[in-house]
Structure formats: structure tokens, C-alpha cells
Amino acid sequence: MARTSSLLLTPDGDLAREGGRFQVAKGKTYLGQKIVCVIRFWKGEYPFDLSVGFPWDEVAVGVKDPSPELIRSELRRHISSIQGVTAVRSVDLEIDQGGRVLSGKAQAEGDLGLLLQTFEVPLL
């Protein structure tokens, strides 16, 4: 059976709590959070499987002129691989090379309807 809930995260990635209790992300909130987590998780960051994660080092970090088309294509591929996502409609990007931050919006269709997720990734 597919996972449909997890602990809710705050916009800065911390665990959400209310009244001393951890909050749970369910349904569209869970799926949207999953999209953001997939985008923020760097390839090689997980010590038990270095192949897991988004290849930021290959498409943006250390690349003289990062290609927005390549980044967009990789984001689409990773988002569409998430269980529950049926199609990726669009991925909009904004690269702040001076501040080394990539931000954007991803619009995806899922089993639970249309999702619009904003994200920000520090590219340090």
C-alpha cells in the first residue's frame, strides 16, 4: 500500500508542532510536501544510498552557466517519479546566481487533484 501521510514540515523544513504535538501531512498536503522534499534533497546526501536525491551538483552547482532547460527537465523527471503524481504540467524557475538560490513553482496533477508547489533551494 502506498504511503499517504508523514510528519508535517514547516516551510523551512522543521517538524511542525501544535500544542506540543507533531502535526501530520495527509492527502494533497502530503503529496505537495513530497514534491518539495524531492527537490530539496541533494543526490549523495543520504549516506546509505548515494544515488538517491536530486543531482544539483550536475545541473547547477559548479556549472558556469546553468541551463534552465536542463534543470527544468530534471525537475520534471524527478517530480513525475513520485508515487501519486500522474503528470507534471509546468516548472517555473528563477535563478539568483549572486545569492546562489534557485526558487520556483511546480504544477503537477496527482491522484488527489491539481497541486501547485513553490520551492527554494540554496545552491551553496
5-122 topology per CATH: Nuclear Transport Factor 2; Chain: A, (3.10.450)
Q: Which of 11-15, 61-65, 76-80 has the highest mean pLDDT?
A: 76-80
From the list 26, 27, 28, 23, the residue with the least C-alpha distance to 10 is 23
Write down the mean pLDDT value for the chain: 89
For residue 116, count other CB atoms closer than 10 A to its CB: 12
Tell me the pLDDT tens digit for each residue of 64-123: 888 889 999 999 999 999 999 999 999 999 988 777 888 999 999 988 899 999 988 888
- Over range 22-48, report the average pLDDT: 91
Residues in the chain: 124
Question: Edge-to-edge, what's the strand order for the sheet holding 85-96?
Answer: 85-96, 101-110, 113-122
CA distance 89 to 19: 37
